[in-house]
Chain A
Amino acid sequence: MSDEMGYQGEVVKRFMYVNRKAPYGTIYALENLETVLIAAAFDQDVSVVFVDDGVYQLKKGQDTKGIGMKNFSPTFRALDDYDVEKLYVEKESLEARGLTAEELVVPVEVVSTEELREIMAQQDVVLSC
């Protein structure tokens, strides 16, 4: 594995967070997002993947007032400030749900299953949920 050194000399690892669950039915999506922000605050090389129902986390127009939960979809737009720039959405998952990249809250890189498989294989740490 090709660990490189960060600006303060710490080892930087490639962390991939794989989101597979829709946003509000379980706590996984929110918890995973918080973990992403913490990893990013520690200057790790973070990428975030959305497959299966995970793509629903990025759907525009979420309004959670009626269910008494925090709408965390705006936080995906803060990822850029945290230098998390690699957001991948699996094309097949998106299309299977009748969605397009234009309906998502942030710009993402839409990748094929094949491409995603390659990117996943290059990681030091993969955290799926």
Chain B
Amino acid sequence: MTYEYNGTVVETDEEGYITDISLWTRELAEFIAKDENIEMSNDHWEVVNFLRDYYEEYQIAPAVRVLIKAIKKSLGTDKGNSKYLYELFPYGPAKQACKIAGLPKPTGCI
């Protein structure tokens, strides 16, 4: 699978996660999001940026339970809950947001 945007081709695995995370750009994120039927708002970006920071620090894409807990810790309970995050990313805040964030599929997701 590949994403093609602005004349660039980016390779992905069979589930649509890009294989070279260094090729991620904000434009690519917007493109993947559109492919997932998500219109990126500031709230979406907050989660995507959070995931990218988490990956930068721990070298891992967190499982959904871990993501919710970590967001709760740093952004508070209004955002660190599954209802809020599933509203933003209906197919799973970890899986779908990681895809948009250009990260691997979260460890612990089968």
Contact = CB atoms under 8 A, between A and B. Distances in A.
A and B associate: yes
Interface of A: 34, 37-38, 40-42, 70-72, 74-75, 77-78, 81-82
Contacts of B58: 74-75, 77-78
B107 A41 contact: yes
Nearest to B56: A74
Contacts, number: 39
8 contacts: A40-B108, A41-B109, A42-B108, A74-B57, A78-B58, A78-B60, A78-B66, A81-B66
Nearest to B108: A41
Interface residues of chain B: helix, strand, loop or mixed (majority): loop
Contacts of A78: 58, 60, 62, 66
B65 interface: yes
B59 A37 contact: no
A81 B109 CA distance: 16
Given A75-B60, A78-B62, A82-B63, 19 more contacts: A37-B60, A37-B108, A40-B108, A41-B63, A41-B65, A41-B108, A42-B108, A70-B59, A71-B59, A74-B59, A74-B60, A75-B59, A77-B57, A78-B58, A81-B66, A81-B69, A81-B70, A82-B66, A82-B108
A15 B27 CA distance: 43
Contacts of A75: 58-60
Interface of B: 57-60, 62-63, 65-66, 69-70, 107-110
Contact of A37 (B57, B69, B70, B107): B107
- Interface secondary structure of A, over-half rule: helix
Contacts of B57: 74, 77
Nearest to A73: B59
A72 B69 contact: no
Contacts of A71: 59
B73 to A, nearest CB: 9
A99 B99 CA distance: 39
Given A81-B69, A82-B66, A38 B59 contact: no
